[in-house]
Amino acid sequence: MDIITRKIKHLQRIQPDTSWLIRQRSFLLSEISRTQQTDKQRKTSLVFPLFDFSKIFRPAFALAFSIIILISSLATVGVISASQNAISGDFLYPVKTAIEKTQLSFTSDSASRTKLSVKFATQRMDEFNQLIERPEKKADIQKTVKKFTQQMVTVRQEINTLKKENAEKAAEVAKLVQAQTSGYEETLIKGDEKLGYILPGEKQELKNDINQALEELSKTKELTDELVKEGSTVPQENKKIDSVPGDIVVPGDNSEQTESSSIQFENLQPTTE
Amino acid sequence: MANLEIIDKEKELLSRVASGDKEAFGQLYDFYAPKIFRFIRLKVRSQTLAEDLSSESFLRIWEYIQEQEREIEESFRGLLYRTARNLIVDYYKRKSSQEILIDDDFKEFLEGQFIGDDLRIMEDTEEIHQALIKIKEEYQDVIVWYYIDELSVPEIARIMDKTPGAIRVLIHRALKSLKDHLEDLDKDAFQNQNRV
């Protein structure tokens, strides 16, 4: 029986596709939000006649409300800035990720959302670099790699959305993403090698996660390569006519842009040793 | 995470979910989605169907928890497995009167899961799966829960609404049945080889 039970245990390795898991998570949570909203609307329509909203706008209420907001903001600023250096497993790490989620939820256009997602992916790579120095945090390394994979899926989704809205802008954003991919790849491969040395024989799951991250990265690279190629076939004259203020400046691009409208992707490269 | 820690954390998340916290639900999803997918994937032959039923299980659980007026005493994992199990049974019941035309893509799926591994391990795993899907439904369940998901006997007893003693007997019988089917498969393979 021991042989059979050992063979049964091989089935433990069956895992769903990571990108499916991520897509499914977003789908589930959006479905839940939708049902919650419907319920809330139903409840509000019942409660509204009993509550006098005009009370909120009286001066005394407004002053008290402002003071509360100010005090809580001052206390929060310190926590927020301290959380920026946190890595997975740190006490303040959930604050960091919550801020990222908030930033994303307040950003409506796909170009900005893509830029933010790339920025977060770069942060995950920085965290990954720090974590591989601490092999005892194997679970946190795994979480960080998975989050990076998730960012890659998001980047592709956003670029695809942008492509439908504005193919030219999508090509520009793709160029920026493209500039980051080789850095990510190098970080993941170097990290994988290092972990193989530090955690020999116990990193199969981690290796699978890193492979998955590399796979998603490669899909992102394919998409950006394709978009950049398509973008480069658009006549230069058209580009000038279509470009609008606030467009993105590609590193190395000499076209006229204001500094405030550009994003500094050079600084996003993860620090590899 | 130690078992007790998981139970405490799960209880906390479950009570947050009951008050409508979808982020807490997201955390439960992160922890259980791979497990519930594996449980379903081992019992259905199509990848798409396994993905659909996994997703449906989570949606049903959310709705169930929101509808409850009292505190839920059952573990989230127990609820989830029970829901998934019922969904699989319902699916096959619904389809029983019709012809089931589902692509059996388990072999391809398995090949994707065991990339770079010893071919022998993959063949063993496929053979075990072939035998597993031939044994009784409740035998399949206890084998997956006990040996693959490593649930305790009392927990399986709660999910199946049986006594721990009955579960121990069930596990023993399930393993015996699986062994018999494996032997049958070996015999068939041997006869086929001789014929060739």
Name the token pair of B147: 């040996």
Residues A117 and A180 sit within 8 Å (Cβ to Cβ): no
**CATH code 1.10.10.10 region(s) in chain B:** 119-196
Residue A31 has pLDDT above 70, yes or no: yes
Q: Which pLDDT does position A237 carry in this prediction?
A: 45
Instruction: Please report the sign of the dihedral spanned by the C-alpha atoms of residue A241, residue A242, residue A244, residue A248.
Output: negative
Please state the rounded mean pLDDT for residues A54-61. 51
> Considering the domain B119-196 in this protein, what is its CATH number?
1.10.10.10
Higher pLDDT: B1 or B124? It is B124
CB contact under 8 A, A28 and B62: yes
Residue A46 has pLDDT above 80, yes or no: no
CB contact under 8 A, A14 and B26: no
Pick among A5, A6, A9, A11 to test the B interface (most B CBs inside 10 A):
A11
Backbone angles phi, psi at A248, to 5 degrees: -90, 140
Q: Helices marked H in chain B — which ranges?
A: 3-18, 22-41, 47-67, 76-96, 106-113, 119-132, 137-143, 153-160, 164-195
CB contact under 8 A, A16 and B34: yes
Size of interface A-B (CB pairs under 8 A): 82
Alpha-carbon A230 to chain mean position: 25
Question: Is A98 an 8 Å CB contact of chain B?
Answer: no
Reported confidence tier of residue B59, pLDDT bands at 50, 70, 90: very high
- Residues from chain B contacting residue A5 (CB–CB below 8 Å): 147, 175
Closest-CA distance, B189 to chain A, in angstroms, reads: 18
Name the token pair of A238: 């058209």
Question: Is A241 an 8 Å CB contact of chain B?
Answer: no
Q: What is the pLDDT of residues A13-27, one digit of tens each?
A: 888 888 889 988 988
Question: Which of A146, A166, A183 lies closest to A270 in space, CA to CA?
Answer: A183
Is B75 in a helix, a strand, or coil? coil
Reported confidence tier of residue A59, pLDDT bands at 50, 70, 90: low
Instruction: Please report the sign of the dihedral spanned by the C-alpha atoms of residue B79, residue B80, residue B81, residue B84.
Output: positive
Name the token pair of B141: 């369940």
Please state the rounded mean pLDDT for residues A219-229. 87
Give the torsion through C-alpha atoms of B45, B46, B51, B54, to 10 deg: -20
Backbone angles phi, psi at A246, to 5 degrees: 95, 0
May I ask the CATH architecture of the domain B1-104?
Orthogonal Bundle (1.10)
Distances (CA, A) of B150 to A40, A203, B104, B145: 40, 21, 27, 6
Q: Which pLDDT does position B123 carry in this prediction?
A: 85
Q: A146 to chain B: nearest residue by CA?
A: B30
Backbone angles phi, psi at A222, to 5 degrees: -55, -45
Q: How many CA atoms lie within 13 A of B158 on its CB side?
A: 13
- Residues from chain B contacting residue A13 (CB–CB below 8 Å): 113-114
CB contact under 8 A, B175 and A5: yes
Q: Which pLDDT does position A238 carry in this prediction?
A: 46
Q: Which pLDDT does position A207 carry in this prediction?
A: 80
Q: What is the pLDDT of residues A98-127, one digit of tens each?
A: 888 777 777 777 788 888 888 888 889 988
Reported confidence tier of residue B84, pLDDT bands at 50, 70, 90: very high
List the single range of A130-134, A171-175, B190-194 with lowest mean pLDDT.
B190-194
- Residues from chain B contacting residue A4 (CB–CB below 8 Å): 128, 175, 178-179, 182
Q: Which pLDDT does position A113 carry in this prediction?
A: 82
Q: Which pLDDT does position A233 carry in this prediction?
A: 67
**CATH code 1.10.1740.10 region(s) in chain B:** 1-104
Question: Which of A223, A88, A216, A90 lies closest to A150 in space, CA to CA?
Answer: A216
Residues A61 and A55 sit within 8 Å (Cβ to Cβ): yes
Higher pLDDT: B96 or A128? It is A128
Name the token pair of A249: 């400046």
Q: Which pLDDT does position A95 carry in this prediction?
A: 82
Instruction: Please report the sign of the dihedral spanned by the C-alpha atoms of residue B134, residue B137, residue B138, residue B140.
Output: positive
Residue B29 has pLDDT above 90, yes or no: yes
Q: Which pLDDT does position A116 carry in this prediction?
A: 85
Residue B175 has pLDDT above 60, yes or no: yes
Reported confidence tier of residue B69, pLDDT bands at 50, 70, 90: confident
Name the token pair of A117: 């997602």
Closest partner residue to B128 (CB to CB) among A7, A15, A31 is: A7
